[in-house]
């Protein structure tokens, strides 16, 4: 969410910002979760096991794991090499 909203906010494009906000708030089956202590602990574990993993990515993946998402969708091709039990990482192109 941060990675999609930041460029729109920086460009001052309120139309795109509003569209993205609606997408994240109104898309059926899409839930935005706060970063909890459990997510933080899981993110730290992921970072220990995968030292190349960036903190934002570890938080997002940890959130998916904690909330049992099953699939993690990203444009980040660097995450393709991750093998995380219980999580399918789908790379969009």
Higher pLDDT, 15 or 5: 15
Per the CB < 8 A criterion, the answer to whether 58 and 46 are in contact is yes
49 and 93 housed in the same domain: yes
Q: Each residue of 16-44: pLDDT tens digit?
A: 888 888 888 898 988 889 899 999 999 99
54 and 72 housed in the same domain: yes
- The terminus-to-terminus CA distance of the chain in angstroms comes to 18
17 and 40 housed in the same domain: no
Round to whole Å and give the CA distance between 54 and 91: 17
pTM: 0.78
64 and 85 housed in the same domain: yes
Confidence of residue 3 (pLDDT cuts 50, 70, 90): low
Round to whole Å and give the CA distance between 76 and 93: 9
93 and 48 housed in the same domain: yes
Is 70 exceeded by the pLDDT of residue 1? Answer: no
Mean pLDDT of the chain: 89
The number of distinct structural domains making up the chain is 2
Task: Give the domain range for residue 65.
Answer: 35-93
């Amino acid at each position: 969410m941060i990675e999609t909203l930041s460029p729109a906010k920086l460009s001052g494009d309120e139309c795109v910002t509003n569209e993205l906000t609606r997408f994240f708030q109104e898309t059926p089956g899409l839930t935005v979760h706060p970063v909890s202590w459990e997510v933080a602990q899981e993110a730290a574990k992921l970072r220990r096991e995968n030292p190349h993993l960036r903190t934002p990515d570890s938080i997002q993946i940890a959130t998916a794991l904690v909330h049992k998402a099953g699939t993690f969708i990203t444009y980040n091709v660097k995450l393709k090499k991750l093998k995380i039990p219980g999580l399918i990482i789908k790379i969009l192109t």
